[in-house]
Chains A and B, each alone.
Chain A
Amino acid sequence: MKQPILSVRDLHYVYGNGQAGLDGVNIDINEGEKIAVIGSNGAGKSTFFLNVNGVLKAERGEIIYRGTTITRKNLKELRKNIGIVFQDADNQIIASTVRAEVGFGPMNLKLPKEEVIKRVDEALTYMNILDFKDRPPHYLSGGEKKKVSIADIIAMKSEIIIFDEPTVALDPLNAEMLEEVLEKLSREEKTMLISTHDVDFAYRWAERIIVFCQGKIIADGSPLEIFQNEEVLKQSNLKQPMLLNVYESLVQKQLVADEKTYPRSIEEFQKMIQAIS
């Protein structure tokens, strides 16, 4: 069996006010997986991400990255290899030019300057924003800031990239851009975790879904398993994805043969409809 890239064992985290943030989280993440993390507000998704990144220190439990248990000493290794793209780009952008901003992570990794410059250029080219290099972040639009915040993480060459509710506050065009970037990243076998409230997106994109509820993982499985499990959906206040709903209704009315094809995108659905007519 393949060794998981990241394992979390019995992770407990308590907030300063005594409230439990995480309550015994266990999970194995394999290399190259596309994972959607869903759950209602305050279910512990962001707390989980910050714990996994070593920013928040867990009360109990361990994090194992590529076979090594993370302690205080090798915390930096964890941060180097796991990057978080924060929900609000304005909470992430710290420098006053795009160049300095994207270079912030690599500079902190104490890389030689030539390497930093190379990585910054690569990351900006990757996100298609090379001509923003000298612009200050306060004259960028929301979508442009998001691109910069993703370039930040790409420049660090993290193996696991975490996106905290990336589609929030993006217009449809920018959301499409984001999905293209995700597509590009998954072709490079990056491991990705995305927290989202958009079940349609999760159904379409993810290979695996983790459902958080009150600091616990209540379900972990393929999108189909999760979204057909009414118990889980009810507990975490989620709805079924539109396409799954439509497909099941069609099957129920016997308009479509029950072949368990389960189209995941509009394109697949259209193809299925074409095939039967």
Chain B
Amino acid sequence: MNEMMLLLLCGLLAAVFLLAEVRQHNHAHEGTHHRHKIGHKHGEGFVIDMHAYASKISHWNPTFKVILAIVTLVLCIALNNPCVSLAVLIAMAYLTMVKGGLSVSEYLSVMMIPIVFILLGTLAIAIEFSYQPIGQYNLHCGFFYVYTSQDKLKEMIFLILKVFAAVSALQMMTLSTPSSEIISVMRKAHVPTLIIELMNIIYRYIFILLDVYSKMKNSADSRQGYCDFRTSCYTFGGVAGNMLIVSLKKANVYYDAMESRCYDGEMVFLEEEKKVAAGQIIAAAIFVVLLLMLWWFTK
């Protein structure tokens, strides 16, 4: 049994590393052909941003998608049932990949982002330590034992399943709805205007700041600004300070530009009305009922 445990652990670790590797590879690959200027070094967020615009279900009504995702998420957690989790996982994967047209490898790479956190979190539930060889399975590690039981492992796997199902519901939303639309849904939900305006501006500004940062970094790099650790630290400080000044200046210019277009203290953007099809609502209702039935029969 001990060897078995060790093998399992090794396998899991290897999978994590492999997936992380695949993910990195995917990104390096993506960077070469999509249009963003700083493609080779952008983080996970921008990949998701790209996917959201490219998704085939991005024309669906955003409110519908957000509500569907949240209802699914709540059901998934509240019902606490592995069958429901599995059903959600499958349904959301179907929506994102088949309906949304995202490729399998990209979907997996996005889904694997939280895997390290999930594994570390759930391992703590399944594994316990002791000085005596107790428990259903145990592993001798020098002067102490790591032990677990079938029940504990089952609990861990169900928990992983639940977390992944919940994550997949939210990913369905983020991978098919551009941020601006999610913000507009929040506006409809009467989130305070201040927060909505901040979100809009921050979302727009992230890309501008990144652009400015990459330009400054490149120009510092071309002048040997990152030749050794000491210089790198110094340059980083310089770039950061400069960024602050540039942001202040840009904020001024932005304000002028907004004022010249009659901005008077209230930021309202034109949003597209996306109709929600009756079929979509019916399908979503059936899905929710099915989840509840599944829970009822496997309780």
Contact = CB atoms under 8 A, between A and B. Distances in A.
B200 interface: yes
B163 to A, nearest CB: 30
A108 B263 contact: yes
B269 A104 contact: yes
B270 A91 contact: no
Contacts of A137: 204
A95 B200 CA distance: 7
* Most chain A beta-carbon neighbours within 10 Å: one of B256, B260, B270, B271: B260
B141 interface: no
A96 B204 contact: yes
Interface string A32-63: 00000000000000000010011110000000
Interface in B84-116: none
Contact of A92 (B36, B203, B211, B257): B257
A79 interface: yes
A135 B53 contact: yes
Contacts of A86: 253, 257
Interface string A127-146: 00000001111110100000
Given A50-B260, A79-B260, A108-B268, A97 B178 contact: yes
Interface in B269-294: 269-272
A100 B257 contact: no
A153 B262 CA distance: 11
B58 to A, nearest CB: 8
Q: Which secondary structure dominates chain B's binding surface?
A: helix
Given A107-B268, A136-B178, A139-B35, A55 B259 contact: yes
A152 interface: yes
Given A100-B270, A136-B53, A139-B53, A91 B254 contact: yes
A159 to B, nearest CB: 14
B208 interface: yes
B30 to A, nearest CB: 13
B276 to A, nearest CB: 17
B191 interface: no
B261 A156 contact: yes
Contacts of B35: 139, 141
A49 B179 CA distance: 34
Q: On chain B, which size bracket covers the interface? A: 20 to 34
A175 to B, nearest CB: 21
Contacts of A103: 269-270
A76 interface: yes
B259 A79 contact: yes
Contacts of A156: 261-262
Given A91-B250, A103-B270, A97 B262 contact: no
Interface string A96-110: 110110111111110
B207 interface: yes
Contacts of B262: 76, 79-80, 105, 108-109, 156
Nearest to A97: B180
A138 B36 contact: yes
A110 to B, nearest CB: 9
A90 interface: yes
16 contacts: A50-B260, A79-B262, A82-B260, A84-B257, A95-B180, A96-B178, A99-B272, A100-B180, A105-B261, A105-B262, A107-B268, A107-B269, A108-B262, A120-B270, A136-B49, A139-B36
Interface of B: 35-36, 49-50, 53, 58, 178-180, 200-201, 203-204, 207-208, 211, 250, 253-254, 256-264, 268-272
Given A90-B211, A99-B270, A138-B207, 15 more contacts: A55-B256, A55-B260, A83-B260, A91-B254, A94-B201, A94-B204, A95-B204, A100-B271, A107-B270, A116-B270, A134-B58, A136-B49, A138-B204, A139-B53, A153-B261
Closest 6 interchain pairs by CB?
A103-B270, A138-B207, A100-B269, A108-B262, A105-B261, A96-B180
